[in-house]
Structure 1
Amino acid sequence: MTNSAAPARPKGGKRERLGAAAARVFHEQGVEKTTIADIANAADVPVGNVYYYFKTKDQLVRAAIGAHEQALSDLIAMLERLPTPRDRLTALIGGWVAERETAARFGCPSGTLATELDKRADGLDRELAAVMRQLVDWVEGQFEAMGRTDARQLAVALIAAYQGISLLTNTFRDPELMVAEGERLARWIDSLAA
């Protein structure tokens, strides 16, 4: 969802490194298969120090959601520097395509986490949904700026197309599916801007 890659190694201290590492490792291994030691190793933090910041794995899931939110905020800030809504949406699609190898191996970081959290009854799925809604809302704003009265439907269609192609790219382990869909979506955006 975000730049399609799990959040990169963040600036900041151990807490931020652990949150970003949790997001990355949960994406690669899934929440249930991931141990606190896996996250500590990925963050280059002694495992004993993890408990100083996070007492439970669920707290690390919440931190991973926070890392996804920060990555999305950073992505939107970068996209907002582009001159037109069309340019911003095209760049968003280009970012997804650039991460096609990651999608082929693991799927969409936010989408796969959302699917996994949906099977639990602890409310963390709703926290992640709020982050994903931020992207839908931002995309809707871009379509509105293009003068589209159907901006919400277009935003949902764009995000749904990305989630769908992420699933297929991962299922078939074929990054070229993402390339082809990215080209189609870019043409679609061009047609809507005309």
Structure 2
Amino acid sequence: MFINYSSIRGDRLKKAKTRKKSPRKTPPVSNTEVKELIDAVCGDHGHLIISALMERELTDEGLARATGLKVNVVRRILYDLYERRLVNYRRTRDDGTGWYVYHWYVEPKRAMEGLEIHRRQMLEKLRERLEYEKNTLFFRCSNNCPKVSMDVAMELNFTCPTCGERLEHYDNTPVVKSLEERIRVLEGFRNTSIAS
């Protein structure tokens, strides 16, 4: 099949090549539960970056200026957020330097899918930890060295491996309650929307 490119007007072809995408407009994060989930997944710096990107599309340098973080820290966080499917980018070439410029943005649907995947992973790990905490007897010395399980304590003749003090039964009820609360909070995040 032969395509006659001479019939395409040069100015239309030129226009198509130089047309730039408009910045993506996404609504700000307004749901308190989603903000808390983003904090849990991304931490404080990640939340700063997500919040800045919810307002408009930015480069990594623009994000560094907007958040007050160093550029290399911003890039590391962006790569982590990209791996977790919370942000996306488009790449353009700078005409002056020839370098690629990455324009980062948040796609609410994709971000919610990424948050949901991470929420499920966190829930699975927390449930495993809760089972371990509930089904294991722990011992600890009076110096608050790391706790050890009953099996390890018996092997050590109930002597702390760190400081040599006598090991006593450790009540891990506060840890269990904390884990149960974190699980309850994460279970409450189902079916939330990033812009609701």
| TM-score interval (norm. to shorter) | under 0.3
Structure with greater Cα Rg: 2
TM-score, normalised on structure 2? Answer: 0.27
Of Structure 1 and Structure 2, the greater helix share is in 1
Of Structure 1 and Structure 2, the greater strand share is in 2
